[in-house]
């Protein structure tokens, strides 16, 4: 693993044979890529890129995201393996920074998945750790493992703003928390907002598409999204939150006219160049969590 600390020997746990370990890590890595593809393919997705249109974006298309997805396949495999081997946070961070470079190379310098690399990467590591511990992959077990293994480091990371990113500027200018704060708290928006919204819609008999739309709107209604602040400031963040809460108040995708309302929201966000990219990254994480726990 390029750049990895040489002091860390990545030997599988004694209880595993190498084949089962590698097959497991490959399966979770595939779920991560498929989850990001499912997020990209979802429509309507207010302000965001899909195969239908580019939303509020001039610098990227669905093809940009697909190129990025393919460039991240080995990253997700490596970060699951790192979790299996109980790697310290600095190893995960090295893998994440390397993955960001691969993403930028694949996209010609466009930030398609920076937040997803962080959020899904940490989930992959926690899922790998659960497997090595012999713990069944439930949302609660994955959440507890994430916090036990890397919670303190994630907390320290949230304040470690080396490069002036959009998120860092949003934090300083608007006190918008963003991905770092989300990670420092163990991604509560994934476990306590997005996943429950998805499960409620599925339990009510709605299909995966509608359940994902409901999960996305729940996240948009809840999350402090630095992408939204970066583009629309406080007013933009209020617009997104109010629109999401209005959609939910009318029953979400249980409402007969849900798709019309979601499309109106999409057009409103595009007109204002608003893009809840953080909510989209978190939706990808919700899809990964649901798939990994469903498959066991």
Ligand X SMILES: CC(C)(COP(=O)(O)OP(=O)(O)OC[C@H]1O[C@@H](n2cnc3c(N)ncnc32)[C@H](O)[C@@H]1O)[C@@H](O)C(=O)NCCC(=O)NCCS
Indicate the SS3 state at residue 187.
coil
CB-wise, 8 or 169, nearer to ligand ATP? Answer: 169
Q: Which of residues 66 and 110 has its CB atom nearest to ligand X in the complex? A: 110
Per the CB < 8 A criterion, the answer to whether 115 and 84 are in contact is no
Please identify the residue of the shown chain whose CB is closest to the bound ligand X: 167
Of 132, 71, 58, nearest to 102 by C-alpha is: 71
How far apart (Å, rounded) are the C-alpha atoms in residues 54 and 262?
16
Q: What does 223 interact with, of ligand X, ligand ATP, none (CB < 5 to 8 A by kind)?
A: ligand X
CB count, 10 Å around CB of 2? Answer: 7
166 binds ligand X (CB under 6 A): yes
Binders of ligand ATP among 102-121, rule CB under 6 A?
Answer: 111-116
CB of 279 to ligand ATP, least distance (A): 8
Q: Two tokens at 166?
A: 């959009």
| Cβ pair 214, 223 in contact under 8 A | no
Helix (H, G, I), strand (E, B) or coil at 91: helix
Q: How far is the CB of 280 from ligand ATP (least distance, A)?
A: 3
Q: What is the largest CA-CA distance in the chain?
A: 58
For the CB of residue 260, give the shortest distance to ligand ATP in the complex, in Å. 21
- 277 binds ligand X, rule: CB under 6 A: yes
**281: contact with ligand X by CB under 6 A:** yes
| Cα distance between residue 237 and residue 171, in whole Å | 13
Is 97 a residue that touches ligand X (CB under 6 A)?
A: yes
Q: CB under 5 to 8 A by kind: which of ligand ATP, ligand X, none does 128 bind?
A: none
Which of 170-204 are b and which e, b meaning 16 or more Cβ less than 10 Å from the residue's Cβ?
bbeebebbbbbbbbbbbbebbbebbbebbbbbbee
Nearer to ligand X, 67 or 157 (CB): 157
CA geometry: angle 146, 28, 224, nearest 5 deg = 50
Scored b (16 or more CB within 10 A) or e, 110-148 reads: bbbbbbbbbbbbbbbbbbbbbbbeeeebebebbbbbbbe
Number of residues that bind ligand X (CB under 6 A): 30
Question: With respect to ligand X, which residue has the nearer C-beta, 137 or 284?
Answer: 284
Residue 96 interaction partner, one of ligand ATP, ligand X, none, beta carbon < 5-8 Å per kind: ligand X
Nearest approach, Cβ of residue 114 and ligand ATP (Å): 5
Give the residue, chosen from 33, 38, 40, 237, that forms a contact with ligand ATP under the rule CB under 6 A. 40
280 binds ligand ATP (CB under 6 A): yes
**Phi-psi category of 11—alpha, beta or left, where left has phi over 0 and alpha has psi -120 to 50?**
beta
Tell me which residues touch ligand X (CB under 6 A): 92-93, 96-97, 111, 114-115, 117-119, 121-122, 157, 165-168, 178-180, 182, 223-227, 277-278, 281-282
Tell me which residues touch ligand ATP (CB under 6 A): 39-40, 48-49, 55, 57, 59, 111-116, 166, 227, 230-231, 275, 277, 280-281
């Amino acid at each position: 693993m390029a750049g990895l600390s040489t002091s860390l020997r990545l030997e599988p746990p004694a209880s595993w044979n190498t084949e089962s370990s590698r097959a497991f890590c490959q399966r979770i890595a595939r779920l991560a890529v498929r989850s990001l593809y499912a997020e990209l393919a979802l429509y309507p997705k207010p302000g965001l890129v899909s195969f239908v249109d580019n939303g509020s974006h001039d610098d990227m298309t669905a093809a940009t995201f697909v190129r990025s997805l393919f460039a991240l396949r080995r990253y997700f495999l490596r970060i699951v393996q790192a979790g299996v081997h109980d790697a310290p946070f600095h190893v995960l961070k090295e893998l994440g920074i390397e993955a960001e470079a691969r993403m930028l190379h694949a996209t010609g310098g466009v930030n398609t998945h920076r937040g997803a690399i962080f959020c899904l990467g940490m989930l992959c590591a926690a899922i790998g750790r659960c497997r090595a511990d012999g713990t069944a992959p439930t949302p609660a077990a994955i959440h507890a493992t994430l916090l036990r293994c890397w919670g303190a480091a994630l907390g320290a990371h949230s304040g470690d703003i080396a490069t002036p990113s959009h998120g860092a500027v949003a934090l300083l200018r608007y006190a918008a928390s963003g991905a770092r704060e989300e990670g420092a708290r163990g991604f509560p928006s994934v476990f306590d907002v997005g996943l429950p919204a998805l499960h409620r819609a599925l339990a009510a008999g709605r299909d995966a598409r509608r359940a994902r739309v409901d999960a996305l709107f729940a996240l948009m209604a809840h999350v402090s999204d630095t992408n939204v602040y970066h583009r629309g400031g406080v007013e933009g963040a209020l617009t997104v939150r109010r629109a999401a809460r209005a959609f939910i108040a009318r029953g979400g995708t249980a409402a007969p006219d849900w798709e019309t309302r979601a499309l109106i929201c999409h057009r409103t966000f595009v007109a204002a160049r608003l893009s809840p990219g953080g909510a989209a990254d978190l939706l990808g994480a919700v899809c990964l969590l649901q798939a990994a726990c469903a498959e066991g």
